[in-house]
């Protein structure tokens, strides 16, 4: 079934209040949305990727200039073959960064189209089922408007609990170690002995010793309750540093959200740089590559907890036995704001510490075209 149309749109959605992590200020979210059509089917494949606070237009141009010429006329059923062709064709222009994120959006659209044509949820098509999957409430960003740092974390944990979550994650690395330790202590107190708490440093610490000092302080702040994981304490390129931390900490070390393609994840696994991998389908190259990485991690006895994009990751998690939890952002927090452009009926629903896998064909996500047009930017 030949592909007859490939379109890419850049979208940016502003955040409503000042927000930051340890390494940068967040003021908006840039996405690229890809649609793929075949004349032989009425179904439309939808895929997307997140670029950060800039880069949506660059990704859309990459789809149009670099990827669409490979796709047009090709067999839409040959998804893995097309991934390999796209990766090879961008040898001189990509392999990492924006181009791989553009490939991810294309690849997701191909899988979405394939499942819709068969009338199957993507989770079922991949060998899983339509079922609730474990999830945690993510947040704990630095927002001065929310009041004193510890009070803000305490209030957010209580908000998560009121919305059905007992597992949580908060940011660290944006303040002094002592101040962040106080925020960890406040989160643990608000949890009242229930659930688990993960910490995300977003590559905040300069070296192994600095990260170890922070981790020890946070473990002390958590007391007997303990910590679920310590995420991205060092630069993504510091494979050795993450491996050293993994060997000496009681808390498991997590990383992988910035890593791209199975080739970088191979090194993470071979060097034992993480106790938990966080593959992001929209960053690493799409569904095809995500499945390869998840299965390889399973072979190594390593669990995964996908980063961001619960709408995309929940169906994949339902087909991945080694997935321990999906990261979920309650829309009212205005952090992961992609669902602003999703129809209310197809926004991801949650249960008790779970997200509910859609039973509609494909990924089960429908775009609100009026909202997409409102937030679209010219390429």
Per the CB < 8 A criterion, the answer to whether 324 and 305 are in contact is yes
Q: pLDDT (tens digit, 9 = 90+) per residue, 193-233?
A: 999 999 999 999 999 999 999 999 999 999 999 999 999 99
pLDDT at residue 378, rounded to an integer = 82
Average pLDDT over residues 29-52: 96
The mean pLDDT of the chain is: 97
DSSP state of 66: I
The answer to whether residue 379 scores a pLDDT higher than 80 is: no
Whether the predicted pLDDT of 234 surpasses 90: yes
H helix intervals, the chain: 56-62, 68-71, 79-89, 98-117, 122-125, 149-162, 177-191, 208-222, 239-248, 261-270, 281-284, 287-299, 310-317, 369-375
Q: Report, as an integer, the average pLDDT of 336-347.
A: 97
> How far from 2 is each of 36, 42, 51, 84, CA to CA, in Å?
11, 13, 29, 17
Phi, psi of 118 (to 5 degrees): -95, 0
Burial class (CB within 10 angstroms; exposed 0-12, middle 13-18, buried 19+) of 49: buried
Whole-number percent of the chain with pLDDT over 90:
98
What does 70-86 look like in DSSP terms, one character per residue?
HHTTSBTT-HHHHHHHH
Distance between CA atoms of residues 155 and 333, nearest Å = 12
Tell me the HSE value of 204 on the side-chain side, using a 13 A CA sphere: 24
* 269 and 243 Cβ atoms separated by less than 8 Å: no
Is the per-residue pLDDT at 302 higher than 90?
yes
Angle (CA) 350 353 354, round 5°? 45
How large is the average pLDDT for residues 102-128? 98
Name the band, by pLDDT with cuts 50, 70 and 90, for residue 40.
confident
Tell me the per-residue pLDDT of 125-136, one tens digit each, with 9 for 90 and over: 999 999 999 999
Neighbours of 192 (CB within 10 A): 11
| CA–CA distance, 270 with 101 (Å, rounded to integer) | 24
Spell out the domains of the chain, with CATH numbers in brackets: 5-119+369-377 (3.30.390.10), 124-356 (3.20.20.120)
**pTM score, whole prediction:** 0.97
Q: 352 is written with which tokens?
A: 């008790």
């Amino acid at each position: 079934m030949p592909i007859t149309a490939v379109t890419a749109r850049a979208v940016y959605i502003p955040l409503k209040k000042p927000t930051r992590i340890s390494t940068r200020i967040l003021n908006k979210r840039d996405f690229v949305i890809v649609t793929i059509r075949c004349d032989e089917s009425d179904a439309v494949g939808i895929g997307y990727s997140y670029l950060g606070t800039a880069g949506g237009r660059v990704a859309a141009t990459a789809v149009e200039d670099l990827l669409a010429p490979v796709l047009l006329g090709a067999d839409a059923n040959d998804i893995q073959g097309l991934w390999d062709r796209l990766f090879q064709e961008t040898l001189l222009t990509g392999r990492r960064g924006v181009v791989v994120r553009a490939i991810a959006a294309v690849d997701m659209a191909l899988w979405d189209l394939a499942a819709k044509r068969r009338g199957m949820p993507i989770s079922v098509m991949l060998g899983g089922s339509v079922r609730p999957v474990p999830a945690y409430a993510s947040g704990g960003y630095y927002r001065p408007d929310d009041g004193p740092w510890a009070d803000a974390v305490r209030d957010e944990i209580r908000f998560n609990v009121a919305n059905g979550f007992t597992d949580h994650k908060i940011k660290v690395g944006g303040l002094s170690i002592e101040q962040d330790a106080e925020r960890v202590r406040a989160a643990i107190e608000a949890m009242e002995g229930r659930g688990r708490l993960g910490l995300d440093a977003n590559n905040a610490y300069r070296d192994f010793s600095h990260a170890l000092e922070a981790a020890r302080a946070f473990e002390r702040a958590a007391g007997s309750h303990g910590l679920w994981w310590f995420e991205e304490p060092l630069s993504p390129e510091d494979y050795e540093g993450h491996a050293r931390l993994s060997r000496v900490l009681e808390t498991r070390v997590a990383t992988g959200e910035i890593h791209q393609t199975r080739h970088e994840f191979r090194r993470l696994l071979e060097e034992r740089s993480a106790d938990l991998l966080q593959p992001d389908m929209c960053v690493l190259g799409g569904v095809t590559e995500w499945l390869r990485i998840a299965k390889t991690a399973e072979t190594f006895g390593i669990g995964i907890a996908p980063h961001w994009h619960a709408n995309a990751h929940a169906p994949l998690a339902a087909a991945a036995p080694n997935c321990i939890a999906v990261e979920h952002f309650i829309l009212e927090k205005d952090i992961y704001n992609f669902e602003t452009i999703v129809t209310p009926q197809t926004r991801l629903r949650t249960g008790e510490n779970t997200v509910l896998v859609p039973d509609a064909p494909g990924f089960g996500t429908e775009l609100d075209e009026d909202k997409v047009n409102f937030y679209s930017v010219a390429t």
